[in-house]
Amino acid sequence: MSEYTIEDLNGLDEGAFVEVLGGIYETSPWVAERSWSDRPFDSVDDLHETMRSVVREAPESKRLELLRAHPDLGDRTEMTDASEAEQASAGLDSLSPDQYETFQRLNETYRERFGFPFIMAVKDESPDVIQAAMEDRIENTEAAEFRTALDQVHRIARLRLEELLA
């Protein structure tokens, strides 16, 4: 990713702002679109809180769509560059055949139970830590897991903003 300052972002027109920030929330440029009018932002914290508010105020169907935009962890399908880098930092791009099979089974069970993929800010985590979290969270209630997944989406967005902004 290119590096920007908060001042750079504040100076962008709406189209450029959405182009730069549209992937902060996985393939959900609507979050950046709805955040643009709140400029100028004082800091990364301010921008992130605005984006969190946009998601929080969105209808549940839109938040579910946001969750469903995320790829399965450890899957070998096409994904955004950001997701690919995050998963690689956790070693999910080089799982053993047994680990891969376990992740696929857990992903399928999780998706069947909750209707969206397991989401975790995995940057620099290990496959063992991620697997343990999957096994623990699969026992959550639907409401608790919906909140937990959204919290993780916000953590991912925060990490992406920190990487983007100098």
Residue 70 annotated as catalytic = yes
Give the global pTM: 0.89
Q: 5-54 pLDDT, tens per residue?
A: 999 999 999 999 999 999 999 999 999 999 999 999 999 999 999 999 99
Catalytic residue among 63, 70, 154, 158: 70
Q: Look at residues 156, 79, 61, 56 and name the one whose alpha carbon lies nearest to residue 115.
A: 61
pLDDT recorded at residue 1: 47
For the chain, which residues make up each domain, given as ranges? 6-164
Helix intervals (H) in the chain: 6-10, 14-21, 30-35, 44-57, 60-68, 81-89, 97-114, 127-137, 142-164
* pLDDT for 140 beyond 90: yes
CATH topology of domain 6-164: UraD-like (1.10.3330)
Lowest mean pLDDT among 36-40, 64-68, 121-125: 121-125
